Structure 1
Amino acid sequence: MSVILAFEASADACSVSLRLSPVEVNILKSDEPRAHAAHLLPFAQELLDQAGRTINDIDYIACAIGPGSFTGLRIALSAAQGLAFSANKKIVPINSLSALAFSAQAPDDCIVLPMMDARMAEVYWGAYSSQGVALNESLQAVLGAEDSLFADLQAISSPQALLPVGCAWKDIAFAQAAQGSLSMMPPLLTQVDAGHIAALADKQLPLGGLDPQLVDLCYCRNSIAWNKRTRIRS
């Protein structure tokens, strides 16, 4: 059984978890905005101390890599990379939208649509299975705006129910409008924490982790891999 230390700071809140087993997962969280740098490493040390472990006892370090808050993601990855370099550990990068979809614990017979506020009148969203697996690469992370969201969501052709997940579905007017115009289930307003990051990392361990210098963030904006307003209809 692998021991995983996980970091999550893709929004205003931040958290760290220590996964000792599937039933023993300890988490420390802070809802204080713009305080990620003050909390993440102290949280990690506190969790290790509580468990009577050191960083050398960790098998892998997991980290949410976005999309999400530009500053929060950089701080979390810097913390993860610093610890990984110091202890010669691998990092398991986790897509933030995948973790949000996974947090819903949705039934297998629906498509999960995680959404996060991207600011600048845009949203990050994707289409996933209940296990946090993207339906295809183009739907892993999409940067949507008012003039594109409804059409792109409408282009997801499936007989499965659509389950919107995340507070952005409630907080952003054009997302509410798109939801109301399509046949969707009521939104689940769940939030991601480092426990979800650790759980998904555990599922990905057969693929192995990455050397810390190879891990990069996915912002959606200014990214080749995650293109703005992906043309789903093509």
Structure 2
Amino acid sequence: MATILNLETSTKNCSVSIAKDGKLLCVVEEANEGFEHGEKLHQFIDWCVEGAGIQLANVDAICVSKGPGSYTGLRIGVSSAKGLAYGLDKKLLSINSLEILVQTQLNKGYDLIIPMIDARRMEVYTALYDGAGNKLTETEAKVIDETSFEELKGKKIVFVGDGAEKCAEILSFLDADFIQIFPSSKDMIHISNEKFSTLQFEDVAYFEPFYLKDFIAGKNKTEK
């Protein structure tokens, strides 16, 4: 079995965990409006290693959330994971950010689990999963309106993620719960351990984040 360092930076939550043989040893995380991942990620890694009582050199793999999500957050997380994997000569694993959210709602009696990561305004990154976590549709960027998910009427649904709450009113015609949470590295543990066991490693040299959409720089508010 393996000791795995998990990094989750796809949203406002900067999250680091270490697990051994599928069991959590330590987690350090903080959700910050300022997206301070660049300043905090490596500090959180140091704290997590200390809390777990291990040496960073003794982990077997680095697992990172690959996206979709914040362009900057993903770039920081993936760059750090690749740097650690290369520098320590460790295996690199990755997980779709939506699958991390799905882990929090497995086998709770829902027909469908629909993770939502906020993509600003009424747009979200999303996909459909069944109640056991099996993926039913591909990941997409979706603008939510009054006609969204009409075909799912009659199903017991949970929308989960930092994009869920803003959709509650417009999707109130559905039999659904809306759970506003961020993806967390502690919810990566089962998948990362399984991927390590089945040798689903990434190529450190060529691996890139799953941005889904091209980055669009915002205009500085001081510009005229």
TM-score bin (small chain):
0.7 to 0.9
Aligned partner (choices 125, 150, 157) of residue 154 of structure 1: 150
Aligned partner (choices 140, 145, 150) of residue 142 of structure 1: 140
* Unaligned ranges ≥5, structure 1: 224-234
1:78 equivalent in alignment to 2:79: yes
Opposite residue 180 of structure 1, the aligned amino acid is S
CA contact (8 A) 1:106 1:112 kept: no
CA RMSD of aligned residues (A): 2.3
Aligned positions of 1:98-113 closer than 5 A:
98-107=99-108, 110-113=111-114
Q: Which has the higher strand share?
A: 2
Runs of 4 or more off by more than 6 Å in structure 1?
Answer: none
**Equivalent-residue separation in structure 2 for 1:51 and 1:110 (angstroms):** 37
Residue 143 of structure 1 aligns to a residue in which SS?
A: strand
1:52 Cα deviation after fit = 3.5
CA contact (8 A) 1:164 1:184 kept: no
Q: Which has the higher helix share?
A: 1
TM-score norm. by structure 1 comes to 0.81
1:215 equivalent in alignment to 2:207: yes
1:192 equivalent in alignment to 2:190: no
Deviation track 1:57-113 (CA, whole Å, cap 9, x = no partner) reads: 111111011111110110011111110000111211110111111122442652100
**Identity over the aligned pairs, expressed in percent?**
25
Opposite residue 175 of structure 2, the aligned amino acid is M
Moved more, 198-207 or 37-46: 198-207
Q: Does the C-alpha gap of structure 1 residues 24 and 177 become closer, same or farther in structure 2, counting only changes over 3 Å?
A: closer
**Equivalent-residue separation in structure 1 for 2:162 and 2:77 (angstroms):** 22
Q: Does the C-alpha gap of structure 1 residues 176 and 24 become closer, same or farther in structure 2, counting only changes over 3 Å?
A: closer
Opposite residue 90 of structure 1, the aligned amino acid is K
Name the residue aligned to 2:124.
123
Residue 213 of structure 1 aligns to a residue in which SS?
A: coil
Q: Does the C-alpha gap of structure 1 residues 15 and 92 become closer, same or farther in structure 2, counting only changes over 3 Å?
A: same
Residues paired across the two proteins, number = 213
Moved more, 21-30 or 8-17: 21-30
Name the residue aligned to 1:133.
134
* Unaligned ranges ≥5, structure 2: 216-224
**Equivalent-residue separation in structure 2 for 1:44 and 1:153 (angstroms):** 39
